[in-house]
Amino acid sequence: MTAITTQVGSEIRSKTTFICTALILLAQSLPGSPASAQEQAVEAEILSVSPETGSIEISYKAPLGNTSATLDVSRKAQITINGAPGKLEDLKKGQKASITYNKDLDVISAIQATGDVQASEFVAVAELDGSFPTFTQDGLTIFYESRGAGEPMITSATRANSDGPFENVKQVFPGRHPAISGDGLELIFLHMPAGKKTRTLHVVTRKSLREPFGRPQEIRELNQFAYPRGAFLTTDALTLCFRSSEGDGQLLQTTRRTRTSSWSKPQPLLTPDVERKLGGMLTWPALSGDGLTLLATLEKGNSSRP
């Protein structure tokens, strides 16, 4: 059973009770023609999908009315989408689904999803003013660059859910081009310490989201790169991409085994002929979760596009 994020003190018991109650209501709402004594089906709507934790949040009709629950999905779960085989990460918010739930194991054993997903809608984030945003994996915390009294500032904001407004906006420390890890515990950015004339890659860490970041530390194995552009940190914080500024510049990638390991010698992400054929410069890189797809902005003269 996947636990909902809890707070300290007496709220832990109440939230745990909520989870158990949701599971009981789910079991009570299931129809009386189960595939087996342990497995029963319920019609639901998918509210969110978390491949990282192997769970989904669903909305369904219970005896007391519509309610929602976050449930684990078995690794062996049979998943179909509009009749075709699918994976957990292929499921989308808003799809209708027939959920087969194993009451003994407290997991979903099968999902039959149907329906098209509505196109995403662009919404202006009027409460924020800045550029170069980077999000935590859950999308609830954002870091970006904003104007400071002197030099640019790394600024943060949070929101309660993916549809809510950002709040708690605060400037954290001087810097540019932030890149946050998926869990929000490590931030890499450009920083120019006192007495220095160039910005280099620095890192700050913290032990929990409730704590402030520590003092910025220069990434020494990467300090030969002055003014690197568009740092991108993968969710696991083990791969870092950026564009170098030396010479003609190029997109580079560096990796490490663990978060306490040193970064490897940066290697080119592209062969030299790629940008030559495109007739421009690729910047602001972003890698897919499996590391096989690269997204970047193509800059030509005074124009740019993804």
Q: Does 11-114 match 131-305 in CATH topology?
A: no
- CA torsion sign, 127 to 130 to 131 to 137? negative
Section 67-79 average pLDDT: 91
Could you tell me if 35 and 46 are in contact, meaning their C-beta atoms sit under 8 angstroms apart? no
Residue carrying the six token digits 């120019």 = 192
Q: How far apart are CA 55 and CA 89, in angstroms?
A: 10
Q: Residue 248: pLDDT band by 50, 70, 90 thresholds?
A: low
Say if residue 13's pLDDT is above 50. Answer: no
What is the reported pLDDT for 25?
47
Section 172-185 average pLDDT: 94
Element (H, E) at 272: helix 272-278
Q: What are the extents of the domains in the chain?
A: 11-114, 131-305
Say if residue 4's pLDDT is above 60. Answer: no
CA dihedral 90, 95, 101, 107 (to 10 degrees): 40
Q: What is the pLDDT of residues 131-150, one digit of tens each?
A: 999 999 888 999 999 998 88
Q: Residue 6: pLDDT band by 50, 70, 90 thresholds?
A: very low
Q: Is 184 exposed, middle or buried (0-12, 13-18, 19+ CB in 10 A)?
A: buried
- The topology (CATH level 3) of 11-114 is OB fold (Dihydrolipoamide Acetyltransferase, E2P) (2.40.50)
Q: What CATH class does 131-305 carry?
A: mainly beta
Could you tell me if 253 and 261 are in contact, meaning their C-beta atoms sit under 8 angstroms apart? no
Could you tell me if 88 and 97 are in contact, meaning their C-beta atoms sit under 8 angstroms apart? no
Q: Which residue has the higher pLDDT, 270 or 22?
A: 270
Phi/psi for 11 (5° steps) reads -70, -25
Section 102-121 average pLDDT: 82
Q: Is the pTM of this model over 0.75?
A: no
Could you tell me if 260 and 235 are in contact, meaning their C-beta atoms sit under 8 angstroms apart? no
Could you tell me if 174 and 152 are in contact, meaning their C-beta atoms sit under 8 angstroms apart? yes
Section 26-47 average pLDDT: 67
